[in-house]
Protein backbone atom coordinates (compact mmCIF):
# COMPACT_ATOMS: atom_id res chain seq x y z
CA UNK A 1 0.00 0.00 0.00
CA UNK A 2 1.26 3.49 -0.89
CA UNK A 3 2.93 4.88 2.26
CA UNK A 4 2.85 8.57 1.28
CA UNK A 5 0.35 10.63 3.27
CA UNK A 6 0.36 14.27 2.20
CA UNK A 7 -0.44 16.83 4.88
CA UNK A 8 -2.94 19.35 3.54
CA UNK A 9 -1.68 22.09 5.84
CA UNK A 10 -3.39 25.01 4.13
CA UNK A 11 -5.93 27.59 5.21
CA UNK A 12 -9.01 26.90 3.11
CA UNK A 13 -11.06 24.03 1.77
CA UNK A 14 -10.66 25.13 -1.87
CA UNK A 15 -6.85 25.07 -1.50
CA UNK A 16 -6.97 21.64 0.13
CA UNK A 17 -9.32 20.17 -2.45
CA UNK A 18 -7.26 21.57 -5.32
CA UNK A 19 -4.12 19.99 -3.86
CA UNK A 20 -5.94 16.69 -3.41
CA UNK A 21 -7.07 16.80 -7.05
CA UNK A 22 -3.48 17.44 -8.13
CA UNK A 23 -2.04 14.64 -5.98
CA UNK A 24 -4.75 12.01 -6.29
CA UNK A 25 -3.31 8.81 -7.70
CA UNK A 26 0.19 9.66 -6.43
CA UNK A 27 -0.42 10.17 -2.71
CA UNK A 28 -1.63 7.23 -0.67
CA UNK A 29 -3.86 9.47 1.42
CA UNK A 30 -4.26 12.93 2.90
CA UNK A 31 -3.73 14.21 6.41
CA UNK A 32 -6.04 16.89 7.76
CA UNK A 33 -4.68 18.61 10.83
CA UNK A 34 -5.90 21.26 13.23
CA UNK A 35 -5.07 24.18 10.89
CA UNK A 36 -7.36 23.11 8.06
CA UNK A 37 -9.99 21.49 10.26
CA UNK A 38 -10.34 24.64 12.37
CA UNK A 39 -10.64 26.82 9.28
CA UNK A 40 -12.83 24.62 7.10
CA UNK A 41 -14.61 22.23 9.48
CA UNK A 42 -15.68 18.64 8.92
CA UNK A 43 -17.07 19.31 5.43
CA UNK A 44 -13.59 19.13 3.90
CA UNK A 45 -13.16 15.68 5.44
CA UNK A 46 -16.51 14.56 4.07
CA UNK A 47 -15.67 15.83 0.60
CA UNK A 48 -12.39 13.91 0.44
CA UNK A 49 -14.04 10.76 1.77
CA UNK A 50 -16.72 11.08 -0.91
CA UNK A 51 -13.94 11.26 -3.50
CA UNK A 52 -12.65 7.92 -2.24
CA UNK A 53 -9.57 9.30 -0.50
CA UNK A 54 -8.06 7.85 2.63
CA UNK A 55 -8.19 10.62 5.26
CA UNK A 56 -5.97 10.69 8.32
CA UNK A 57 -7.63 13.06 10.80
CA UNK A 58 -4.71 14.41 12.80
CA UNK A 59 -6.34 16.25 15.70
CA UNK A 60 -4.36 14.51 18.47
CA UNK A 61 -7.26 14.07 20.88
CA UNK A 62 -6.14 14.35 24.51
CA UNK A 63 -8.81 14.58 27.20
CA UNK A 64 -10.69 12.42 29.68
CA UNK A 65 -11.70 9.02 28.26
CA UNK A 66 -15.37 9.82 27.68
CA UNK A 67 -14.60 13.04 25.83
CA UNK A 68 -12.02 11.38 23.60
CA UNK A 69 -14.43 8.51 22.93
CA UNK A 70 -17.02 11.04 21.78
CA UNK A 71 -14.50 12.73 19.49
CA UNK A 72 -13.44 9.41 17.95
CA UNK A 73 -17.11 8.48 17.48
CA UNK A 74 -17.64 11.73 15.55
CA UNK A 75 -14.53 11.11 13.45
CA UNK A 76 -15.70 7.59 12.67
CA UNK A 77 -19.06 8.92 11.49
CA UNK A 78 -17.18 11.23 9.09
CA UNK A 79 -15.68 8.16 7.44
CA UNK A 80 -12.03 8.83 8.23
CA UNK A 81 -9.48 6.10 7.59
CA UNK A 82 -7.20 6.96 10.50
CA UNK A 83 -7.44 9.12 13.63
CA UNK A 84 -5.00 9.84 16.42
CA UNK A 85 -4.91 10.52 20.13
CA UNK A 86 -2.09 11.45 22.51
CA UNK A 87 -0.53 8.42 24.22
CA UNK A 88 0.16 10.61 27.24
CA UNK A 89 -3.60 10.64 27.83
CA UNK A 90 -3.14 7.22 29.37
CA UNK A 91 -4.24 3.63 28.99
CA UNK A 92 -7.94 4.14 29.79
CA UNK A 93 -8.23 7.02 27.35
CA UNK A 94 -6.63 5.03 24.54
CA UNK A 95 -8.84 2.01 25.24
CA UNK A 96 -11.90 4.26 25.13
CA UNK A 97 -10.79 5.64 21.77
CA UNK A 98 -10.32 2.15 20.33
CA UNK A 99 -13.72 1.00 21.63
CA UNK A 100 -15.48 4.06 20.21
CA UNK A 101 -13.92 3.43 16.79
CA UNK A 102 -15.01 -0.20 16.65
CA UNK A 103 -18.46 0.29 18.15
CA UNK A 104 -19.36 3.27 15.99
CA UNK A 105 -18.20 1.54 12.82
CA UNK A 106 -20.43 -1.43 13.69
CA UNK A 107 -23.43 0.81 14.37
CA UNK A 108 -23.05 2.70 11.11
CA UNK A 109 -22.37 -0.34 8.97
CA UNK A 110 -18.91 0.87 7.96
CA UNK A 111 -16.76 -1.66 6.14
CA UNK A 112 -13.99 -1.18 8.70
CA UNK A 113 -13.32 0.85 11.83
CA UNK A 114 -10.83 3.68 11.47
CA UNK A 115 -7.27 2.94 12.49
CA UNK A 116 -6.55 4.53 15.86
CA UNK A 117 -2.95 5.50 16.54
CA UNK A 118 -1.24 7.35 19.37
CA UNK A 119 1.13 10.30 19.21
CA UNK A 120 4.22 9.60 21.32
CA UNK A 121 6.52 12.64 21.46
CA UNK A 122 6.06 15.55 19.07
CA UNK A 123 8.84 15.81 16.50
CA UNK A 124 9.48 19.42 17.56
CA UNK A 125 10.66 18.29 21.00
CA UNK A 126 14.28 17.45 21.77
CA UNK A 127 15.87 16.24 25.00
CA UNK A 128 16.10 19.61 26.74
CA UNK A 129 12.46 20.40 26.04
CA UNK A 130 11.36 17.01 27.36
CA UNK A 131 13.39 17.53 30.54
CA UNK A 132 11.70 20.88 31.11
CA UNK A 133 8.38 19.01 31.05
CA UNK A 134 9.61 16.81 33.90
CA UNK A 135 10.43 13.73 31.82
CA UNK A 136 13.73 12.34 33.07
CA UNK A 137 14.27 9.55 30.54
CA UNK A 138 15.71 10.25 27.11
CA UNK A 139 13.47 10.88 24.11
CA UNK A 140 13.96 7.44 22.57
CA UNK A 141 13.13 5.62 25.81
CA UNK A 142 10.09 7.79 26.42
CA UNK A 143 8.76 7.21 22.91
CA UNK A 144 9.26 3.48 23.40
CA UNK A 145 7.41 3.54 26.73
CA UNK A 146 4.43 5.33 25.19
CA UNK A 147 4.42 3.04 22.16
CA UNK A 148 4.27 -0.03 24.40
CA UNK A 149 1.36 1.56 26.30
CA UNK A 150 -0.48 2.17 23.02
CA UNK A 151 0.06 -1.46 22.06
CA UNK A 152 -1.27 -2.59 25.44
CA UNK A 153 -4.36 -0.43 24.84
CA UNK A 154 -5.04 -2.28 21.59
CA UNK A 155 -4.28 0.62 19.28
CA UNK A 156 -3.18 0.06 15.70
CA UNK A 157 0.10 1.92 16.06
CA UNK A 158 1.82 5.16 16.93
CA UNK A 159 3.18 8.38 15.54
CA UNK A 160 6.92 8.53 16.10
CA UNK A 161 9.82 10.40 14.56
CA UNK A 162 12.28 8.66 12.22
CA UNK A 163 14.82 8.51 15.03
CA UNK A 164 12.75 6.16 17.21
CA UNK A 165 11.46 3.70 14.63
CA UNK A 166 14.25 1.18 15.12
CA UNK A 167 13.60 1.04 18.87
CA UNK A 168 9.90 0.27 18.33
CA UNK A 169 10.66 -2.33 15.69
CA UNK A 170 12.74 -4.30 18.19
CA UNK A 171 9.49 -5.58 19.71
CA UNK A 172 6.68 -4.60 17.31
CA UNK A 173 6.04 -6.43 14.03
CA UNK A 174 4.67 -4.82 10.87
CA UNK A 175 1.07 -5.12 12.06
CA UNK A 176 1.81 -2.36 14.58
CA UNK A 177 1.92 0.80 12.48
CA UNK A 178 4.57 3.46 12.84
CA UNK A 179 3.39 6.66 11.18
CA UNK A 180 6.31 8.98 10.71
CA UNK A 181 6.30 12.76 10.25
CA UNK A 182 9.46 14.82 10.06
CA UNK A 183 10.28 13.67 6.53
CA UNK A 184 12.47 16.16 4.75
CA UNK A 185 13.61 16.53 1.17
CA UNK A 186 16.57 18.87 1.28
CA UNK A 187 14.89 21.97 2.68
CA UNK A 188 15.21 23.64 6.07
CA UNK A 189 13.65 21.58 8.82
CA UNK A 190 11.66 24.55 10.22
CA UNK A 191 10.17 23.59 13.62
CA UNK A 192 10.76 19.87 13.16
CA UNK A 193 13.72 18.68 15.22
CA UNK A 194 13.89 14.89 14.86
CA UNK A 195 13.82 14.34 11.08
CA UNK A 196 15.15 12.17 8.25
CA UNK A 197 14.73 11.43 4.57
CA UNK A 198 12.01 9.16 3.22
CA UNK A 199 14.26 6.26 2.24
CA UNK A 200 15.97 6.25 5.63
CA UNK A 201 12.64 6.19 7.49
CA UNK A 202 11.29 3.29 5.42
CA UNK A 203 14.48 1.27 5.88
CA UNK A 204 14.09 1.77 9.63
CA UNK A 205 10.58 0.29 9.50
CA UNK A 206 8.11 3.15 9.05
CA UNK A 207 4.65 2.11 7.83
CA UNK A 208 3.49 5.49 6.51
CA UNK A 209 5.29 8.78 5.96
CA UNK A 210 3.52 12.09 6.54
CA UNK A 211 4.93 14.78 4.27
CA UNK A 212 3.71 18.35 4.05
CA UNK A 213 5.93 21.25 3.06
CA UNK A 214 8.28 19.38 0.68
CA UNK A 215 5.22 18.55 -1.45
CA UNK A 216 2.60 21.26 -0.99
CA UNK A 217 5.07 24.15 -1.16
CA UNK A 218 6.83 22.79 -4.24
CA UNK A 219 6.47 24.60 -7.55
CA UNK A 220 5.01 21.35 -8.92
CA UNK A 221 3.47 19.39 -6.01
CA UNK A 222 2.68 16.33 -8.11
CA UNK A 223 6.24 16.09 -9.43
CA UNK A 224 7.57 16.51 -5.89
CA UNK A 225 5.32 13.69 -4.69
CA UNK A 226 6.48 11.45 -7.54
CA UNK A 227 10.11 12.08 -6.59
CA UNK A 228 9.33 11.13 -3.00
CA UNK A 229 7.62 7.91 -4.12
CA UNK A 230 10.74 7.07 -6.14
CA UNK A 231 12.88 7.70 -3.06
CA UNK A 232 10.57 5.45 -1.03
CA UNK A 233 10.96 2.62 -3.54
CA UNK A 234 14.70 3.04 -3.20
CA UNK A 235 14.36 2.81 0.57
CA UNK A 236 12.32 -0.36 0.38
CA UNK A 237 14.67 -1.89 -2.17
Q: Which residues are catalytic?
A: 60
Residues sharing a CB contact under 8 Å with residue 190, sequence separation 6 or more, in sequence order: 213
The answer to whether the beta carbons of residues 122 and 84 sit under 8 Å apart is: no
H runs (alpha helix) in 176-220: 198-204, 213-216
Residue 132, judged by CB atoms within 10 A of its CB (0-12, 13-18, 19+), counts as exposed
Triad 149, 155, 160: Cα angle to 5°: 70
Residues sharing a CB contact under 8 Å with residue 31, sequence separation 6 or more, in sequence order: 5, 6, 7, 8, 55, 56, 58, 210, 212
Rg (Cα) of the chain, in Å, rounded?
A: 17
Distance separating alpha carbons of residues 31 and 9, to the nearest angstrom? 8
Q: Cα-flanking dihedrals φ and ψ of residue 101, to 5°?
A: -60, -50
The answer to whether the beta carbons of residues 5 and 31 sit under 8 Å apart is: yes
Amino acid sequence: MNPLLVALDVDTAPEALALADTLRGVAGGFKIGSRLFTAAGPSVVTRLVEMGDRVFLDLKFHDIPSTVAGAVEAATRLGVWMVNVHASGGLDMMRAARAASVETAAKTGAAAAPLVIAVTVLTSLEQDALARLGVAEDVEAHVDRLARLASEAGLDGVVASPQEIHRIRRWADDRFLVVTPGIRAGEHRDDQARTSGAAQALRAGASYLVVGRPVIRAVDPRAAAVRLIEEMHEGRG
